[in-house]
A and B are shown apart, each in its own frame.
Chain A
Amino acid sequence: DSGVTQTPKHLITATGQRVTLRCSPRSGDLSVYWYQQSLDQGLQFLIQYYNGEERAKGNILERFSAQQFPDLHSELNLSSLELGDSALYFCASSVGLGTTKEKETQYFGPGTRLLVL
C-alpha cells in the first residue's frame, strides 16, 4: 500500500459525458501527479500540482483539467469524453517539487479504470 488513494476504482460512462477522478496523496506529500495509461500509448504524464499550484503539464488534452485543493487532495476532470479516453488513470504523490536536483520519489495510487461507451 503506497498510501495514495484514488476513487472511484472503476467508472463507466458514455461519450460526451464529464467525470471527476479523485486522488488523496500520502500524508505530508505536497506534489500530486496525474498519469494516463492506455493500451496503445503506455503510461503518459498529464499534469503536476505542487501545494495547490500547477507546476508542469504533459500531454494533457484541453478537455481535461485538474486542481489541487487546500487539503492537498486533487481532482482530474475529464469532459466531452470520447471512446479513446478509456484508460487507466493514475495519481502519484511526492514530498516536493521533483526537480532533477532532488531525490524525489513518486508513489502511485491503485488507479481509476475509465471505460467510455
Chain B
Amino acid sequence: DAKTTQPTSMDCAEGRAANLPCNHSTISGNEYVYWYRQIHSQGPQYIIHGLKNNETNEMASLIITEDRKSSTLILPHATLRDTAVYYCIVRVRYALNFGKGTSLLVTP
C-alpha cells in the first residue's frame, strides 16, 4: 500500500493561502491522490482528487509533482471555518486509508 506522510499540524492566518504538503513516494501509476477534511467530529468532507495533473475546484487546488511522489493542497484564502484535520490519501482499491492527517489551525 502506498503510504502518505503529512505534517502533524500547521497554522495559517485568516485570508492567507494555506499550503498543506503530502509525501507519497511509493505511489503507483494508477493510484489517485485524494484529500478529505474533518471538522471536529463531523463526517469527512471530500475536497479534491487527482492523478497526475493539477486540479482545481471551488474549494481548493491540488498540485502534484511531476514524479507524483508528493502533492500540495492549497486553500487560496483560508477562513476560520477551514480549521480542520486534513487527510491526504492514496486510494487503495475500495477503502480510503485515513492516516493521522494534518491539523490545520486558521487564526484571526
Interface residues of A (CB under 8 A from B): 2, 4, 33, 35, 37, 42-45, 48, 55-56, 58, 88, 90, 92, 97-101, 103-111, 113
A-B contact count (CB 8 A): 70
Chain B interface SS verdict (over half): loop
What are the nearest 8 A-B pairs in CB distance? A108-B43, A45-B95, A43-B98, A56-B94, A98-B94, A108-B44, A48-B94, A110-B43
Contacts of B98 in A (CB 8 A): 35, 42-44
Q: Which residues of B contact A2 (CB under 8 A)?
A: 43, 45-46
- Chain A residues whose C-beta falls within 8 Å of the C-beta of B91 in the assembled complex: 98, 100, 104
- Nearest A residue to B98 via CB reads A43
Contact A106 B96 (CB under 8 A): yes
A52→B38 CA distance, assembly (Å): 28
Instruction: Evaluate whether A111 and B95 lie within 8 angstroms (CB atoms) in the complex, with A42-B100, A101-B30, A105-B49 already known.
Output: no
Cα-based distance from A55 to B95 in the complex (angstroms): 11
A-B contact pairs, 10 of them (CB 8 A): A45-B95, A48-B95, A90-B43, A92-B44, A98-B91, A100-B93, A106-B96, A107-B46, A108-B44, A108-B45
Q: B72: CB under 8 A from chain A?
A: no
| Closest CB in chain A relative to B54 CB, distance in Å | 16
Which residues from A are CB-within-8-Å of B87? 43
